[in-house]
Structure 1
Amino acid sequence: MLDVVNLTHTYGSGPEAHRALGGIDLKVSEGELVCVVGPSGCGKSTLLRSIAGLVRPTGGEVRVKGRPVDGTPDDLAVVFQDYSRSLFPWLSVRDNVALPLRRRGLDRAARRTAAAEALAAVSLEGAAAKYPWQLSGGMQQRVAIARALAYRPSLLLMDEPFGSVDAQTREDLEDLVLAVRGHHRMTIVLITHDIDESVYVGDRVVVLTRAPAVVAADLRVDLPGPRDQIGTRELPAFVHLRAEVSRLVRGRPEFTPEFSPGFGPGFGPGFGPEFSMAPPHMTTSPLMNTPSHLTKE
């Protein structure tokens, strides 16, 4: 579905030039949901905009369905973080969703039908006649997602789509994306700075280095479905992968009992018998988890 080959991009020229991408290689198969994470400012959004044809890369190539990207492909849609700037405030929710369908050549009746189906898919069928400014931030982002669904793209790009909403709404939207992907078997590339989110929603997590970015790791997420905001996040496999992605994003060496930065040899999970952060008179009781000097008679 998507092939990114040795993609490079430099902003500006001369001494002020900034090399954002240092040679990205990425493959995404049809039906996959791939999350891209990395340090702030590493070029994640530049990568997405290059895939979308919104930025012409300095070097390398992007291919969608085997065809080189030159301008925005017809069967591609993008959901951006700032929903307030992606929706037209003078158009109703229904008309915002239906607007891109003119590019498909659909007549008015077909556009309204497609918009109604897409709004139902994101549980906003009752808001079709409202205007964006009458909706909450989370509902506005649902409208943006519905607009992408109505277009029926082969590839959906999402640029930190939940970065401007509260934590509860973020979780609801994460589950919405999983449900939509499961129903439509859509191929999705999701850019995020949230490590937990990448592990929760992704089939794979691609970690970028600092700029000029290259791929530091491409990790498969092997978690059982359907995923659940509480149960899935408590799984040992989730906790382990989240820690690994966090380590890679921060550029830290792999943790081992022999190498424990800042704490010395022998310091590991649970603090171990070799090292205690408490002074001798404040060691903890293994049964009561209280200082031993408080358990003495």
Structure 2
Amino acid sequence: MDSLGSVTHLDISNVVLDDAFFDMIKSKFPFLESLSLGIVSRGLESIVITSFPLKRLTLRFWVDIMTIDVQVYAPKLLFFFYDGRVTVPSLSFPIIAPAEIKLGFILKNTVDHSFFIKMREALSLTSKFDIDIEVDDRKALVSSKTKVDDLRRRVSFPVTNVQQLSLITFSNERQWKHTQFFDAFFSICHPSYVKLKCNKCFTKMMVKEMMKKKTSDLKDVAFKNPRNGNWEDLTTSSTSLFADAFVDFKLNWLSHHGPSGPKMNRNRSGIYSLKRVFKSCILPNWMSL
């Protein structure tokens, strides 16, 4: 390890994590700017990484875990990528959060509303997010018993910091017929772009949900025409242009043009505070400051 002290980029697979491993990273790689780990440890409860020069961090979990708490002390961190299975991590950047965060999930089992609640907690950071979801084609993505109304009560407002949602699935129509994925996902965030790689059935369902949202939350929706690459207004007849391939959508939400909820102020210590949001809705006029 002493001979590798000048290394700036490190990619390690099949890692079994313990405290000694991260102590080694901190002490033996003083110039490390990029770290990528393929993790095979089971039963992990927390990961704590401390590195002053680190700018890019990737954690790929190759095994199923129940819960994981990730804390990163890296003042220069610009990009963080979590790639795992069903588990949504609890993320903490006590010094400062990176400008970009990417979350990737391979879903093999049906998820319920608790999955979306945990994801909404992760999205509370002021960073820009990309979310990649790959769905096993043997099961529906979201249970028909998902409590979307309860989810909406527990989530105060959808965040607008998700740049792109990417979905890969080739599940058949029967498996998606009663799913509430769209209602649940759009209850926690309003992504600017949606990229699909799926079958025609799934695309039609996506279009139906977006057209339904267009009457309330969505200002307008455009899709990239596969024939000429131009962005065009989405209509219910647009599905005749979609094949079993990538389809890109651009979503213009009403929430993108004004306050959709409490503003979060982040200070240099990574602590978030609410910004006097109850002034007009709780206090009578004569008590307003």
Tell me the TM-score normalized by structure 2.
0.28
- Structure number with larger C-alpha Rg: 1
- Looking at secondary structure, tell me which structure has more strand per residue: 2
Normalized against structure 1, the TM-score is what? 0.28
Highest relative contact order (Cα 8 Å, sep 6+), 1 or 2?
1
